[in-house]
Structures are given as structure tokens and as C-alpha cells.
Amino acid sequence: MKSLIIGIVAGILCTFSFIPQVAKIIRTKHTKDLSLITFSALSLGVFLWLIYGLMIKEFPVIAANAVTLILSLTIVMMKIKHG
Amino acid sequence: MKSLIIGIVAGILCTFSFIPQVAKIIRTKHTKDLSLITFSALSLGVFLWLIYGLMIKEFPVIAANAVTLILSLTIVMMKIKHG
């Protein structure tokens, strides 16, 4: 039970951690210091976690990774746009 | 079985995705565009995943999050150093 709560808090933190990065890029329009490979690999990894969640029909895995994928892909697209 | 392979590939991608970001910072010494809040929240989240892995005694969860924590904390420390 204790481990379940820690898992949920961990998932929420990791999922929403990318919001300040997205906000910062929207504000500054600067992405030069960000690694395109990092956020592309992360997006692909999170996409596979989403597929995994759909295959094992686990809603928390699906929801968390769907949100992270949107944020991560937003960073990739803004990195491509701003360079 | 198919879902297990997808989960393993997803975990490997997400874990090692931060290596290019660490390498880029070491090379350029520039971290201005990175969000300190993002990588701090991510580090805390990954730390909690590590605790979760230790509690449920799942080696893949422990190993993946230990590696990610080292990479994420490295980014946080370099961000604090380079600003």
C-alpha cells in the first residue's frame, strides 16, 4: 500500500516534470541547449510505454505516458522549430 | 511476451535518452535553455521510482531508475553550476 502511494507520486512527478520545460521554451523561444536526440529518444520510449500500457490494459500506464508523450513531442517540435 | 519486449525496449530508451543531453552540456557548458524545475522534479520522481523498486524488490525498476537518477542529477548539478 505504501509502495503504491510512492509509485503514484513518482508517476505524477515524472509525468508533469516536463511542463516547466515546455513553459520555458514558450516564454523564451530558445532551445539551443536542449538535446534533440534526448527528447526524440524519450518520446519514442514513452510512445512504447503507451503501447505497452494499451497491450496490458493498464489505465495508469496509458494515462501517464499519453500526457508525457504530448509534452515530450511538444519539446521535440519546438526544438526543431527554434533550433 | 510481446508486451514484455516492448516494455524492456521502452525502459532502455527512456533510461539512456538523457546521455546525449549530459554529453551536450559537457561539450558546450551551456544549460541556459534547460528548466531547473523540470530536471529537479524528474530527479525526485525517479528517486521515488527507485524507492518503489526497492520496496517491491523489482530489479529492472531498481536498475533503470538508478541509471536515470544519476543522469538526471548530473544535469541538475551542471545546470546549477553553469546557470
Q: What is the pLDDT of residues B37-70, one digit of tens each?
A: 999 999 999 999 999 999 999 988 899 999 999 9
Q: What is the pLDDT of residues A17-63, one digit of tens each?
A: 999 999 999 999 999 999 999 999 999 999 999 999 999 999 888 99
**Are A33 and B37 an interchain contact pair (Cβ–Cβ within 8 Å)?**
no
Reduced to 3 states, what is the DSSP secondary structure of residue A33? coil
ipTM: 0.92
Domains annotated for chain A, with CATH where assigned, are: 2-82 (1.20.1280.290)
Give the residue on B whose Cα is nearest the Cα of A41. Answer: B17
Closest CA to A24 of A34, A14, A11: A34
* pLDDT the model gives residue B67: 96
Give the residue on A whose Cα is nearest the Cα of B41. Answer: A17
The Cα-based distances of B38 to A23, A55, B54 in angstroms read 10, 29, 24
CA distance B47 to chain A (A): 8
**Are B33 and A38 an interchain contact pair (Cβ–Cβ within 8 Å)?**
no
CA distance B63 to chain A (A): 16
